[in-house]
Each structure stands twice: as C-alpha cells, then as structure tokens.
Structure 1
C-alpha cells in the first residue's frame, strides 16, 4: 500500500489581493523599548515589532514597499498613547477610501479587521487602538496638524502657579534652540509653534503638563520639563523661559540637565477629516491587556511602599546651576555651517521628539 503524498503548502499569491492605504493609531509602553524607529543594533523598537507583525500576517511584503510613514519619532523610554503610522496593506474589499483595486483579485463584503489581526501578534506593550482608511498619498508626518505630549511628575513641593506662569511665555511661534538638542541630521531650524501648555492633576500626588504644537524638535519637551521643574522648585524665576527665547543672548542651548524620558508620553496627533474606528470587542481586549499591566504595576508599588516608613517624601533636589551661569552649546548657525562643510549639503527636517 502506497504512502499518502505529503500535502504541499500552497504558495501565497499577492496578486489575489487588493491594497489599501490605512492609518494606524499606536499605543505603546516605551520604558523597555529603545525608541520607535528601526535601529541596526537592537530589535527592541516599536517599528521592529510592528513591521514583524505586518509581515507575519502577510499584510505587507516588506517595510520598503508599503508606502510607510510615521508621525512621531519618539526616543528610548518614551511611551505613546496616540502616535500614528500609515501603511499600504493587503485588502479584500476594493471599495472605500484608500482602496487600490487589483483586477481579478478576491472580493469580500467586509474588510479585514486589521486591529484584531495585529494585536494578536504584537507584544503586550504595543497595541493598535484605532484604524482609519486614508487617501493613497496620506503621510502620517506631513498631514499631521498638531502633536500633543504629556509629561508626568510628582508635585511634592513644586509651585504649580509659578510653573504655569513660566509656561505661558512658551506659547506662540518662537525659535526654541535653547530648549532642544539641535541635530542638523534631523532639522534645519528651531522655529516651531506651541498652541497649548496646560497642567493637570493625575491623582495620587502626580501631575502632568500637556503641550500641543505644530511639531517639536529633538528633546524639546524634556528640555522644557527641566526648566519648568527648576522654576517650580524655586531655582529659576518664571521669566527664565522668556529669556531663553532670546536667541541673541542664547544662540545655543545652555548645558542644563535634560529631564528623564520615562515620564513622557506622545499623547495625540491631530489630523483633519480622519475617522478612527476599532471593533468593540477588539477595544475591550486591548483595554484589558493594559489593565492587567496596570494591576501588576500597582501591586509592585504596594510592595515598594512596605519599605517606606510613613508618607512618601520628596527626594533630595538635584543640584541646579543657574542657567545664566552655564556654558552654552555651539550656536545653531555654527553647527549648520560645520555640517554643510562636512556633508556638502544642507540638512532637511526629518522628525520630532
């Protein structure tokens, strides 16, 4: 009796499917990640895990042929609630916004549930929280009108009113060179516009400030946080923020310490005419995933409180040297001139915080 022939695996054919341009709203806990964008020396980035999930689900062929774009290039340790990417994916429903039909391809009445598919593959620290169909030429970065961040902190003895006064000077369009780490590889100038800088009580002695702008420069939010905390702790006057916007006095950033990345969260990205959707069951499962991690964190916090005798006390304030006494980094103009001499071309804007 002859043995049954082994089943041959049917080869996947991309020609049987349509394509669709979509936007994905991404939430991620960044504390153990090395940033959002792909890196050569580590796989622990948000982009790596997203691309791996997209390829494993056969939603894209590879990361170089999917019309990919990203809104916020967040650093190592920074988290996100509402960061956005756009990508061209495999589709089974050749109708509606973003659809790119292919003649002879499969047709189904309903589109694939992209959030459900990806969330079933992604690690627990990363989740798709919204899907939107977008025009084929949509760009997550260039079509973004506003970006918002929140920076969380323990209030302790900080004077919130003084911090609010200092924050008001930052509103409007300014050259924020004294509030960033300038890199000619990623930007050619430091002019940005801030629409909002407000404070809120997150409970349990934790506060946050929320800042919304047209875009932000590398480390801009963390630099602003550092200066605002110095004001709140009484080390600087609220007028320091206005003084630091004077590019004649501060052509380069003074060498003050930058605030830590872990309390920073990419809060939202604002777009016109974008309709975010997610299946109710998928959303419930996603929230349960993060709730379980919150429960674990609260248990760990409860254990840590066992080692504290009495109420939580503020740590000793870090030494702070007045900004006016600090050395300054090279001016933006000097860095740009040096860059052009070495590279032979002018830089272009490549990303945010």
Structure 2
C-alpha cells in the first residue's frame, strides 16, 4: 500500500482572519497561553490545539509565527461571549484561483513550498509494475501528469472558503464555541484595532459579597461617576512587570439593568480599554457603596490622585486603599467592537468572497 501523503503546511496558501468566540471561564486557567504548566488548560492553548489538529496553523510553530493577537486578556474564572483573536490560517484558495479585485483577499500569502502531487492507485501500480530499466522514466512521466492535474484542479474557480466555524467547533470542547470569522487586513491587531470593550458583571442583590440587601440605586449613582476619562490607578491591580505609567482610561457608557428571568442585575461597562483587574476593582467599590459601607462620593475620592486646583480642600488619594476585588465568576467580556467597515463577521457555514 502506498504511504499516506505528507501534509506540508507551507505548501498551502494562508490568509489573515479574526475569530470571534465564547468560553466558560471556570473551566480554564485564564485566556492567555502560559509557558509553564497550569492547573487547568488555558483557552488560547485549547484553541491552538484545535487549529493545529484541523491543520489550519502549522503545529510545529508558535503563536507568534501565526501573527497571533488577542483583544482582551481575561483571568482565570472570567468568561466571554465575544472574545476576538486574529491570526494567519490555511486557506482553500490557491495562487491560481484566488479572487481578484474588487473581491480580492486583502491579506493573502502564497505557498512557500511545493506540494507533492497526489498519485492514484493506478498511477502507483504503473510505477511498481514497470520494468526496472524503465521505472525512472515511468515515474517521471506519472509525476509530471499528476503535477499538471494538480495545477488544473487548483486553477478551478473556488467560490467558498474553508468552513472555519465547523472545523473548529468539531474539535473544540463545548465550553469554547466559535461564533464567527472575518477577513482582516495584514496589519490588523485584535487588541489595538478594537474600538470598545463591553463587560458585564452579574449581581444578585440578595446574595452579594457584602451580604444581602444591596441598594442597586446607590450602586448605579456611583457607577455613573465612573463615566468619562479618568485616572483609574486606584481601581486596578498594579503589575510592576508591565511598568504602566498612564492610568487614564475612558468609560464610554455604564448602566445597570435587571435580568428578569434570572432575578439578577447586570452591571454594564463599555470602555476603549481597561487596566489590569479594573472591572473587578470597580465592582468591589460599587459593592461597598451598595451595602452602605462607603458613600457614593468615594468614587470621586479614589479618582482624585492629584490636587484639584478648583477644590484644593478636597483630599487626594495617592496610595490605593486595601480592599478585596470582586469575584471573577460573575464577570464576562461580553463583546469586542470594531469598525464595521473593516471587520465584517461571517457566521454562515461558508462564505463567498463576494458576499
């Protein structure tokens, strides 16, 4: 029997895409892949393993080799309903049938290695049955015919891309689901091209970390004071290794809504970017306000890290007060928002480049 055809990843074309997906945070040791063993798998490593098994990336290479970027890093226990990563993946298109303008693939890489032609059983048999004196010439002729047939096949019109959603969801555990994919430009970065990130934090007023009887109205009043551009150094966990000097971030919108079917309240926070543990720290302060242990004005106090020249009598809070962060499990990265003209999500099984 002939040996199985080797899979040479670099003999296939690649394109850059963004993937939108959801995951249950409690099943994983956070989003980001780690260089050391972790008690639980990470979301990224699980996704990479599925990409490798589906031969969509080169399993022998690293995340960096695929141009990997992520939108928002989530910690252990935190879930997402709309996380986004971007990377180069194998494409069904070839240099011979890739679409041209106006539907050309913006980020398209041609193969860098030759793909061995596929031989049929009859072709293998013709080589094996040839006289020894003629076997080399027969082999050369058969491989030439196979190569020409392969080029002809690759030149035929290709109307649909690989079914990325189906391939990955068939290989991923149920706790991670691919929701859609989008063609992106070569320089696209899932983190830096994101316009807004929308977080949701679910609250049960009858069973909060500070005890029952949360005043959701007080929490919402305090929440509104977080909107706008502020210095949030007292609402985050400072990571000395990252050497962050700018703690200013912008909260575009914030509100609390009631989830009727779940008997819960949902705190919504929409911002351009967030500091390390910023949402959980803000929620911790909101819980203190909601249970009456702090006044609503504590939010303004914590954001006043420099002397206010218009109100010099007001105190500044230079060192972050000690308080426990809110729990990770109720937190969800709900959505990552991009420019609709640059990122068009596809959720259908397959998609034509002209769609």
In 2, distance between residues paired with 1:13 and 1:34?
A: 32
Q: Please state if 1:233 is matched with 2:291.
A: yes
Within the candidate set 3, 6, 25, 1:8 is matched to 3
Within the candidate set 223, 241, 244, 1:185 is matched to 241
In 2, distance between residues paired with 1:98 and 1:128?
A: 22
Q: Please state if 1:172 is matched with 2:228.
A: yes
In 2, distance between residues paired with 1:185 and 1:142?
A: 20
In 2, distance between residues paired with 1:83 and 1:190?
A: 23
In 2, distance between residues paired with 1:218 and 1:15?
A: 38
Which residue number corresponds to residue 309 of structure 1?
Answer: none
In 2, distance between residues paired with 1:135 and 1:88?
A: 11
Q: Please state if 1:131 is matched with 2:163.
A: no
Contact 2:27–2:175, Cα closer than 8 Å, also in 1: no
Contact 1:150–1:210, Cα closer than 8 Å, also in 2: yes
Quote the RMSD (CA, aligned, Å): 1.9
Which residue number corresponds to residue 197 of structure 2?
Answer: 147
Return 104-113 or 58-67, whichever deviates more: 104-113
Give the alignment of 1:172-321 within 5 angstroms: 172-186=228-242, 187-203=244-260, 204-248=262-306, 249-272=316-339, 273=341, 274-279=343-348
Question: Aligned residues, how many?
Answer: 277
Q: Provide, for residues 276-321 of structure 1, a one-character-per-residue CA deviation record: whole Å limited to 9, x for no partner.
A: 111269xxxxxxxxxxxxxxxxxxxxxxxxxxxxxxxxxxxxxxxx
In 2, distance between residues paired with 1:182 and 1:217?
A: 9
Larger Rg belongs to: 2
Give the alignment of 1:56-135 within 5 angstroms: 56-61=53-58, 62=61, 63-93=63-93, 94-95=98-99, 96-102=104-110, 106=154, 108-135=158-185
Please report the TM-score for the alignment, with normalisation by the length of structure 1.
0.75
Q: Please state if 1:52 is matched with 2:108.
A: no
In 1, distance between residues paired with 2:47 and 2:11?
A: 24
In 1, distance between residues paired with 2:173 and 2:24?
A: 10
Which residue number corresponds to residue 219 of structure 2?
Answer: 163
Change (3 A) 1:81 1:19: same
Q: Aligned-pair distance for 1:188?
A: 3.1
Return 14-23 or 221-230, whichever deviates more: 14-23
Contact 2:83–2:336, Cα closer than 8 Å, also in 1: yes
